[in-house]
């Protein structure tokens, strides 16, 4: 990097300014006291958590491809298929205890874990008491800043992780010449060694463990294992820092790089791993991480900090600026975010905090999920644990899908790509799993997957609990994402490319169905993740026939696959078969309490307030239940939610926001949004209480789990615009708190429509809709409107105002209130 000291430095005297308090800034008056207060940055691949401590800055580092283990063993339990028929027989006889025992014999291995890469530590020599401290993250440009004064000198540390340049950059400056003195080093809780590359450059080289068992597995003496002889396990990594300054003296040894008497310093951080694909040995056949790091470093050596920052912001804003949300009314952006959260928990009305939370969700997706990379895992890309909660893997019985709910509707469609690519990988191991575990065709996945695209039922061959392990519907749910990307973009070339995967998921589910003896096709074995029921004999079981979620998933998958085949004019016979099999699936049932039944029998639940609400899949993210189309079932869904209550984990509350929005109960959805944003300090695992938000705005399961952030963002979008029923429904569930006035720009509806809305008193004032693909537009609005260009006015039906018009691709339509 060419080093150009900036002239701007002369203006930096005195106390750090509190000027830049715009509504997109998260900020604090003190350093982070723990990880849940540190601020996340990321470029999709390289992530960091910034603590902002003046004298000893801690920047915790991650690289998205650094996982324990190696390619999955695809046939770890060859005995599994022989248990399938006995298990089905047991279920037909309602012997749930035997079904439980047999399903345990059909398990494979646990997934591997996402690893922390290391820490960057900056020990800065400061004189005098600390004053005017401020640290911030501006989600509108993805730049973090720490500023403070000490001994009459003002210091700043600015940092970003650039997708444009694939490196991180930190600029450290002082207001007085020569006042920057520090030592910077790298360390890791993985195995590593440090070396000096040049006087201003050092490298940390290390390796991920061969195995890292899930944190909830307690029977292993050595849960984290390094086995040097196992060449096929454990990715290598290299983290490199280079210090650039024109104003001070730089020296280094293996303990770090020291800088004396500088005024402005830039640290460039590059990192890479040897991960070379889900089915390739990460060590023996791994990539040359050393060459990759060198390449990233070399590429920025002829750029100055200013142009790196500009390229970073341009790249980031190309995605971020596609949407704006203004919920008006309040503006507490000059109050530190932690104080704001505490006041909010005590009842403060802070619409702009809610809008910031929405944009923070988009920020996190842009920072953790970029095309060509891996999908965001349970913690996005931010993890500091050697044995992270639930392995920081991909949990696909809700969590990973929730991560991607905002992608399409919040105008970040291409960020869905990492998940879609991963689904292709899981389909490839899932083909083996279908064959090796069940003797069936097509592909299947269960509730967990990882970087190695593991698809088997986990449990270490017998030790997993069937309430989560026995669930062959992972392929069905993931396939919804394959379809939804098409549904939003209407890109038929894309649809053609993923059709084989969609079809094979349907092939598996088709073979998975069995006749129930009464003319219905049911799934067997089946669970409703992750709830349990009590049988007449008092046994607490999870494995049964035809859970409501299973049937909703299969119905949807068959419908989508058949629609895809029709769109592509292929597979006519297969599509007809699917539709006729679909007609023989059991209907939804309403139980004795008026609730939507969770299983095919009206069992007593072990935990009536269980955090999972799997049986409402058809309400959200599915579309088979809605107040307008199936009012009785919508009532039953409402009753289910009432019985379940508003408690639960962060992600559970986030899902409930979406459920209530789909029930068009805007104020209940809003109540849950407030609960999701309720500040919590709980760090340990809590399944029932404590779900909310940490001081850094990351979601508390607890512990930290990112799905709630994404689910919350999607829920806000769902309150403003819904399109799952073939209509573009504006302000579908606008809460009273936001109704007075507001605007949103850039929401996306199915059918490839981009929507801007201005509202006052809950009514559309003006709206602009751009038709991406020239599809017919069916518009539903809270008040009467007129489309200027088409001279068409909406008319009233039983559910409000609507109109139906043809559109032209690329054209923008102006919609105004009428009458």
Compare residues 320 and 390 and give the one whose CB is closer to ligand FUC.
390
Closest separation between CB of residue 168 and ligand FUC, Å? 28
x-marked contacts with ligand FUC along 608-637 as a string, rule CB under 6 A: ---x--------------------------
Compare residues 332 and 468 and give the one whose CB is closer to ligand FUC.
468
Closest separation between CB of residue 610 and ligand FUC, Å? 9
* Residue 400 binds ligand FUC, judged by CB under 6 A: no
Which of 35, 320, 382, 390 touches ligand FUC by CB under 6 A?
A: 390
- Say how many residues touch ligand FUC, by CB under 6 A: 12
Measured CA to CA, the distance from residue 477 to residue 509 in angstroms comes to 11
Sheet of 753-760, strand order: 324-326, 741-749, 753-760, 763-771, 812-817, 785-787, 792-793
Closest separation between CB of residue 693 and ligand FUC, Å? 16
List phi, psi (to 5°) of 394: -110, 110
Closest separation between CB of residue 534 and ligand FUC, Å? 19
According to DSSP, residue 37 is labeled G
Compare residues 508 and 651 and give the one whose CB is closer to ligand FUC.
651
CA distances from 394 to 377, 448, 475, 650, 706 (A): 5, 6, 13, 17, 11
x-marked contacts with ligand FUC along 496-535 as a string, rule CB under 6 A: ----------------------------------x-----
Closest separation between CB of residue 651 and ligand FUC, Å? 6
Closest separation between CB of residue 376 and ligand FUC, Å? 13
Closest separation between CB of residue 407 and ligand FUC, Å? 20
Compare residues 224 and 378 and give the one whose CB is closer to ligand FUC.
378
Closest separation between CB of residue 709 and ligand FUC, Å? 13
Measured CA to CA, the distance from residue 467 to residue 531 in angstroms comes to 6
Block residue for tokens 């992600």: 651
Give Cα 244 distance to the centre of its chain.
35
* Residue 402 binds ligand FUC, judged by CB under 6 A: no
Q: Which residues contact 806 (CB under 8 A, 6 or more apart)?
A: 774, 776, 777
Residues 553-612 that bind ligand FUC (CB under 6 A): 611
Give Cα 246 distance to the centre of its chain.
41
Compare residues 52 and 703 and give the one whose CB is closer to ligand FUC.
703
Measured CA to CA, the distance from residue 366 to residue 489 in angstroms comes to 19
Block residue for tokens 């002889």: 229
Compare residues 327 and 657 and give the one whose CB is closer to ligand FUC.
657
Measured CA to CA, the distance from residue 440 to residue 432 in angstroms comes to 9
The residue of the chain with the least Cβ separation from ligand FUC equals 390
- Evaluate whether 279 touches 232 at the Cβ level (below 8 Å): no
* Residue 701 binds ligand FUC, judged by CB under 6 A: yes
Using CB atoms within 10 Å of the CB of residue 207, give its burial: 0 to 12 exposed, 13 to 18 middle, 19+ buried.
Answer: buried
Q: How many DSSP H helices and E strands does the chain contain? A: 19, 39
* Residue 162 binds ligand FUC, judged by CB under 6 A: no
Closest separation between CB of residue 307 and ligand FUC, Å? 41
Compare residues 201 and 450 and give the one whose CB is closer to ligand FUC.
450
Closest separation between CB of residue 447 and ligand FUC, Å? 7
Compare residues 401 and 556 and give the one whose CB is closer to ligand FUC.
401
Compare residues 688 and 725 and give the one whose CB is closer to ligand FUC.
688
Compare residues 147 and 465 and give the one whose CB is closer to ligand FUC.
465
Residues 464-493 that bind ligand FUC (CB under 6 A): 468
Compare residues 406 and 703 and give the one whose CB is closer to ligand FUC.
703
Measured CA to CA, the distance from residue 446 to residue 469 in angstroms comes to 7
Closest separation between CB of residue 79 and ligand FUC, Å? 26
Measured CA to CA, the distance from residue 775 to residue 750 in angstroms comes to 10
* Residue 395 binds ligand FUC, judged by CB under 6 A: yes
Block residue for tokens 């054209």: 811
List phi, psi (to 5°) of 379: -120, 25
Q: Which residues contact 52 (CB under 8 A, 6 or more apart)?
A: 28, 31, 32, 38, 39, 135, 146, 157
Which of 150, 174, 399, 411 touches ligand FUC by CB under 6 A?
A: 399
Closest separation between CB of residue 547 and ligand FUC, Å? 15
Compare residues 468 and 738 and give the one whose CB is closer to ligand FUC.
468
Measured CA to CA, the distance from residue 61 to residue 46 in angstroms comes to 7
Compare residues 171 and 653 and give the one whose CB is closer to ligand FUC.
653
- List beta partners, residue 692: 700
Using CB atoms within 10 Å of the CB of residue 661, give its burial: 0 to 12 exposed, 13 to 18 middle, 19+ buried.
Answer: buried
Compare residues 610 and 620 and give the one whose CB is closer to ligand FUC.
610
x-marked contacts with ligand FUC along 430-469 as a string, rule CB under 6 A: --------------------------------------x-
Closest separation between CB of residue 530 and ligand FUC, Å? 5
Compare residues 457 and 559 and give the one whose CB is closer to ligand FUC.
457
**According to the 3-state scheme, what is the secondary structure of 401-465?**
HHHCHHHHHCCCHHHHHHHHHHHHHHHHHHHHHHHHHHCCCCCCCCCEECCCCCCCCCCCCCCCC
Measured CA to CA, the distance from residue 801 to residue 782 in angstroms comes to 6
Closest separation between CB of residue 64 and ligand FUC, Å? 18
Measured CA to CA, the distance from residue 508 to residue 523 in angstroms comes to 11
Closest separation between CB of residue 612 and ligand FUC, Å? 6
Compare residues 268 and 700 and give the one whose CB is closer to ligand FUC.
700
Closest separation between CB of residue 383 and ligand FUC, Å? 13
CA distances from 364 to 137, 373, 410 (A): 12, 15, 12
Residues 26-85 that bind ligand FUC (CB under 6 A): none
The vertex-438 CA angle with 435 and 443, nearest 5°, equals: 50
Compare residues 484 and 530 and give the one whose CB is closer to ligand FUC.
530
Closest separation between CB of residue 725 and ligand FUC, Å? 29
Which of 58, 159, 300, 378 touches ligand FUC by CB under 6 A?
A: 378
> Which DSSP helix (H) or strand (E) runs through 240?
strand 236-245
Which of 60, 273, 649, 737 touches ligand FUC by CB under 6 A?
A: 649
Compare residues 392 and 429 and give the one whose CB is closer to ligand FUC.
392
Measured CA to CA, the distance from residue 190 to residue 222 in angstroms comes to 15
Helix/strand/coil for 749:
strand
Closest separation between CB of residue 397 and ligand FUC, Å? 6
Residues 771-810 that bind ligand FUC (CB under 6 A): none
In this structure, what token pair is assigned to residue 181?
A: 């003195």
Block residue for tokens 């398990």: 107
- Positions touching ligand FUC (CB under 6 A) are 378, 390, 395, 399, 468, 530, 611, 649, 651, 687, 701, 705
């Amino acid at each position: 990097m060419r080093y150009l000291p900036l002239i701007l430095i002369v203006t930096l005297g005195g106390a750090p300014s509190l000027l830049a308090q715009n509504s997109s800034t998260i900020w604090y008056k003190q350093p982070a006291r723990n990880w849940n207060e540190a601020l996340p940055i990321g470029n999709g691949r390289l992530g960091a958590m910034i603590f902002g401590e003046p004298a000893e800055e801690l920047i915790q580092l991650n690289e998205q491809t650094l996982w324990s283990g190696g390619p999955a063993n695809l046939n770890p339990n060859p005995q599994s298929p022989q248990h399938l028929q006995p298990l089905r027989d047991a279920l037909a006889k309602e012997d749930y205890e035997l079904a439980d025992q047999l399903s345990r014999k059909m398990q494979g291995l646990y997934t591997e874990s996402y690893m922390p890469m290391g820490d960057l530590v900056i020990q800065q020599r400061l004189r005098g008491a600390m004053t005017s401290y401020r640290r911030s993250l501006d989600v509108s440009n993805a730049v973090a800043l720490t500023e403070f004064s000490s001994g009459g000198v003002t210091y700043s540390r600015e940092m970003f992780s650039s997708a444009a340049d694939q490196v991180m950059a930190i600029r450290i400056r002082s207001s007085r010449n020569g006042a920057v003195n520090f030592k910077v080093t790298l360390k890791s809780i993985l195995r590593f060694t440090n070396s000096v590359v040049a006087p201003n450059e050092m490298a940390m080289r290390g390796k991920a463990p061969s195995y890292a068992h899930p944190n909830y597995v307690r029977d292993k003496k050595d849960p984290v294992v390094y086995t040097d002889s196992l060449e096929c396990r454990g990715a290598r990594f290299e983290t490199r820092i280079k210090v650039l300054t024109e104003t001070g003296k730089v020296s280094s040894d293996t303990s770090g790089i020291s800088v004396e008497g500088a005024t402005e310093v830039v640290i460039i951080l590059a990192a890479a791993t040897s991960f070379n694909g889900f089915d390739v040995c990460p060590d023996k056949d791994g990539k040359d991480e050393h060459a990759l790091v060198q390449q990233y470093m070399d590429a920025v050596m002829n750029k100055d900090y200013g142009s790196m920052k500009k390229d970073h912001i341009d790249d980031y804003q190309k995605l971020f600026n596609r949407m704006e949300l203004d919920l008006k009314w309040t503006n507490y952006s000059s109050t530190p975010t932690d104080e704001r959260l505490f006041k909010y928990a005590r009842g403060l009305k802070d619409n702009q905090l809610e809008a910031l939370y929405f944009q923070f969700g988009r920020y996190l997706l842009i920072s953790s999920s970029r095309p060509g990379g891996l999908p965001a895992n349970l913690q996005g890309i931010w993890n500091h644990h050697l044995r992270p909660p639930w392995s920081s893997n991909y949990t696909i019985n809700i969590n990973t899908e929730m991560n991607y709910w905002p992608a399409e509707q919040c105008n970040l469609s291409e960020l869905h790509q990492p998940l879609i690519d991963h689904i292709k990988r899981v389909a490839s191991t899932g083909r083996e799993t279908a064959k090796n575990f069940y003797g069936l065709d097509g592909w299947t996945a269960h509730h967990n997957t990882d970087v190695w695209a593991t698809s088997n039922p986990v449990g270490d061959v017998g030790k997993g609990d069937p309430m989560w392990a026995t669930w062959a519907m992972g392929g069905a749910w993931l396939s919804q994402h394959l379809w939804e990307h098409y549904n939003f973009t209407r890109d038929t070339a894309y649809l053609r490319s993923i059709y084989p995967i969609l079809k094979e998921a349907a092939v598996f589910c088709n073979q998975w169905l069995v006749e129930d003896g009464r003319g219905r096709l049911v799934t067997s074995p089946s669970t409703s993740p992750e709830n349990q029921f009590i049988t007449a004999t008092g046994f607490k079981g999870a494995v049964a026939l035809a859970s409501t979620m299973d049937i909703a998933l299969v119905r949807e998958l068959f419908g989508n696959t058949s629609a895809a085949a029709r769109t592509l004019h292929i597979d006519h016979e297969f599509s007809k078969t699917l539709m006729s099999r679909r007609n023989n699936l059991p209907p939804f049932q309403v139980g004795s309490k008026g609730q939507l039944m969770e299983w095919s029998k009206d069992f007593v639940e072990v935990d009536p307030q269980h955090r999972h609400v799997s049986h409402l899949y058809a309400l959200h993210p599915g579309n088979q239940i809605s107040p307008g189309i199936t009012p009785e079932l919508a009532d039953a869904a409402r009753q289910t939610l009432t019985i379940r209550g508003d408690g639960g984990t962060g992600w559970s509350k986030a899902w409930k926001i979406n459920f209530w929005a789909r029930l068009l109960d805007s104020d209940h959805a809003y109540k849950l949004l407030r609960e999701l944003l309720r500040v919590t300090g709980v760090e340990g695992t809590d399944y029932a209480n404590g779900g909310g938000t940490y001081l850094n705005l990351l979601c508390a399961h607890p512990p930290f789990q990112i799905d709630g952030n994404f689910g919350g963002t999607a829920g806000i979008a769902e309150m403003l615009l819904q399109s799952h029923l073939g209509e573009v429904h504006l302000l579908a569930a606008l809460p009273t708190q936001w109704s007075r006035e507001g605007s949103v720009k850039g929401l996306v509806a199915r059918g490839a429509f981009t929507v801007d809305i201005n509202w006052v008193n809950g009514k559309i004032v003006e709206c602009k809709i751009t038709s991406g693909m020239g599809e017919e537009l069916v518009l539903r609005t809270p008040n009467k409107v007129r489309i200027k260009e088409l001279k068409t006015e909406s008319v009233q039906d039983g559910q409000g105002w609507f109109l139906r018009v043809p559109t032209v691709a690329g054209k923008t339509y102006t919609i105004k209130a009428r009458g």
